[in-house]
Structure 1
Amino acid sequence: MRYIIKKFFMTIITLVVVSFCVFLAFSVIPGDPALKKLGMEASPELVAQVREEMGLNDPLVVRYYRWISAFVKGDFGTSYSYNKPVMWLIAGKIPNTIILGIMAFLITVVVSIPLGIFTAKHENGVIDRVISVTNQIIMAIPPFFSGILISMIFAGVIRLFAPKGYVSYKDNVPGFLWYLLFPAVALALPKIAMTVKMLRGSVLDEAGKDYTRTAYSRGNRTNEVLYRHVLKNAMIPVITFLGMVLADMVAGSIVVEKVFDVPGVSTVLINSISNRDYPVVQTIIMGIATIVIVINLLVDIVYCVIDPRIRIDE
């Protein structure tokens, strides 16, 4: 229990530090939000008045406290460019980004775990070597480039889907999921390669320990030892890694959204950065950071539950 409480407080501290860094970064970037809101032809007097109304003349600490207090309450401010609440801009885009990240995570789990176990069982075999080489190649390719290749092959050559043929889940759920499958695969590929490599190494490491040899000496078959003894311990570090993968999937989905023209958070983020619409950018970045940090906290808790040795060490 002390371990979980400690991790919880560390998470709160991390969120506070990250939020301050995010706010500070956009406070020191050159550019006047008031001038951006009014236009370059606005008079200095009007700009000064709007700066005062927007609270831009207040000390940094005061502005940060006002912003983070509102953020915690669910008030993310008003867009400079559209003069509308930030939530109004991103609410319709959030489901696409989250669903894409979850789909990529599920693909990673479904493909990598059986493949990792298979390569460990057939260590140094032909298939194991082929998969190992393939993994190295895939890990070297960034998701956005994988997305381009997948789009060229499956849209341009095989024609399994239409480029920029996104269908909203409100209109056609099967069509929506089918279209998201391809960016999800692009996002999942490097994580699949990493997870396969990690699980293979973890299984082989556990297979060489004394308890495994004891299990064999009692007459257990290879599959019995693997699935009853080895895999249980081998999965502990992999589960932790998959938790980090889930956090990365939600954040990383922004990378492939642009390639496949998925109307997710990436569209709003890129446009807002170009327009120096800081309230929108701050909200999106802080939202992603919060998701990543909270998922890591949950992973730590799960890790503590499945491996009691951590509580003893703490």
Structure 2
Amino acid sequence: MKYIIKKFGMMVATLLVVSICVFLAFNIIPGDPALKMLGTEASPELVEQVRTEMGLNDPVLIRYARWFLNFIRGDFGTSYNYKVPVASMAASKIPITLTMGIMAFLMTVLVSIPLGIVTAKHENGILDRTITVINQIIMAIPPFFSGILITFIFGMILRFFTPGGFVNYTADFGKFVRYLIFPAIAIALPKVAMTVKMLRGSLIDESLKDYARTAYSRGNNTNGVLYRHILKNAIIPVITFLGMALADMIAGSIVIEQVFSIPGISRILLTSISNRDYPVVEAIIMGIATIVIVVNFLVDVIYRIVDPRIGLEDE
């Protein structure tokens, strides 16, 4: 229990530090949201009046405390430009980004774990070497470029989908999911390659340990030793990586949305950055950071459940 409490405390502290960094970053960079909203022809008096109404003239600590307390209560502020709550702006976009990230994660798990096991079982064989070479190539290609290649090959040449033909989940959920398959593949590819490499190495390392040799000496076959003994130990670091990968995929979905012309959270984010609509930008970045931090905490908890020996020094 002490281990979980310690990790929870670290999660809260990390969230606090990240919130300070996010808030200060958008108060240090040049630019006046009031002037951006009113235009350069606005009088200094009017700009000052709007700054006061927006709370921009308050001391930075007061503005941070007000913003952070509102955030943890679920109040993400009001858009400077659109004069509507940020939550209502993002409500219809978040499911798109989350769905794509979760689909990419499921693809990673379903593909990488079987491939990792196969490559470890056939170490240095033709299949293992072939997959290793493919992995190296995939890891060298950024996801956004993979997205461009997928769009060109599967969209423009093979016509498996129509580039730019996004269908919202509110119109047709089936078509919505089908369109997201290819963007999800672009996000998942490098994670699949890294997971396969990590699991392969972990399985091979565990197979050389004394407990594995003992299991073989008792007459167990390769599959028996692998699935009953080696895999449960080898999978532990992979679980940690996959947890971090899930958060990274959700964040990475923002880039892929631009490649596939998907109207997810990225469109609001980029527009708000150019318009210096800080409440929107801060809410989106803080939301993504919160997902990453919470997922990492859950991974630590799962890590402890899988291997109760972890964190015993904290008990």
Q: Distance in 1 between the 2:140 and 2:178 partners?
A: 26
Partner of 1:84 in structure 2? Answer: 84
- The CA deviation string for residues 181-201 of structure 1, in whole angstroms up to 9 with x for no partner, is 000000000000000000000
1:200-219 aligned at under 5 Å gives the runs: 200-219=200-219
Partner of 1:151 in structure 2? Answer: 151
Partner of 2:247 in structure 1? Answer: 247
**1:309 alignment partner, SS class:** coil
Q: Distance in 2 between the 1:55 and 1:274 partners?
A: 21
Q: Distance in 1 between the 2:100 and 2:138 partners?
A: 20
- TM-score normalised by length of structure 2: 0.98
Q: Distance in 1 between the 2:192 and 2:277 partners?
A: 36
Task: Give structure 2 stretches of 5+ with no counterpart.
Answer: none
Q: CA deviation at 1:309?
A: 1.7
1:2-41 aligned at under 5 Å gives the runs: 2-41=2-41
Q: Distance in 2 between the 1:253 and 1:94 partners?
A: 11
4+ residue segments displaced more than 6 Å: none
1:52-201 aligned at under 5 Å gives the runs: 52-201=52-201
Q: Distance in 1 between the 2:43 and 2:88 partners?
A: 30
Q: CA deviation at 1:241?
A: 0.9
Match for 1:160: what amino acid? F
Matched, 1:224 2:227: no
Q: Distance in 2 between the 1:209 and 1:292 partners?
A: 34
Partner of 1:288 in structure 2? Answer: 288
Q: Distance in 1 between the 2:37 and 2:169 partners?
A: 34
1:269-288 aligned at under 5 Å gives the runs: 269-288=269-288
Residues 143 and 256 in structure 1, CA contact (< 8 A), matched pair in contact too: yes
Partner of 1:301 in structure 2? Answer: 301
**Stretch moving more, 144-153 or 167-176:** 167-176
Match for 1:12: what amino acid? V
Residues 116 and 196 in structure 1, CA contact (< 8 A), matched pair in contact too: yes
Q: Distance in 1 between the 2:212 and 2:310 partners?
A: 22
Q: Distance in 2 between the 1:184 and 1:239 partners?
A: 20
Q: CA deviation at 1:176?
A: 0.7
How many equivalent pairs are there?
314
- The CA deviation string for residues 61-107 of structure 1, in whole angstroms up to 9 with x for no partner, is 01100111111111111111111111121111000000000000000
- TM-score normalised by length of structure 1: 0.99
**2:310 alignment partner, SS class:** helix
Residues 36 and 80 in structure 1, CA contact (< 8 A), matched pair in contact too: no
Q: CA deviation at 1:151?
A: 0.3
Q: CA deviation at 1:313?
A: 3.2
Q: CA deviation at 1:311?
A: 2.4
**2:165 alignment partner, SS class:** coil
Q: Distance in 2 between the 1:36 and 1:73 partners?
A: 29
Q: CA deviation at 1:30?
A: 0.6
Q: Distance in 2 between the 1:43 and 1:75 partners?
A: 32
Task: Give structure 1 stretches of 5+ with no counterpart.
Answer: none
Partner of 1:46 in structure 2? Answer: 46
- The CA deviation string for residues 249-289 of structure 1, in whole angstroms up to 9 with x for no partner, is 11111110110011110111111111111110000000000
Q: Distance in 2 between the 1:84 and 1:171 partners?
A: 24
Match for 2:135: what amino acid? N
Q: CA deviation at 1:41?
A: 1.2
Match for 2:225: what amino acid? V
Q: Distance in 1 between the 2:252 and 2:68 partners?
A: 25
Q: CA deviation at 1:35?
A: 1.0
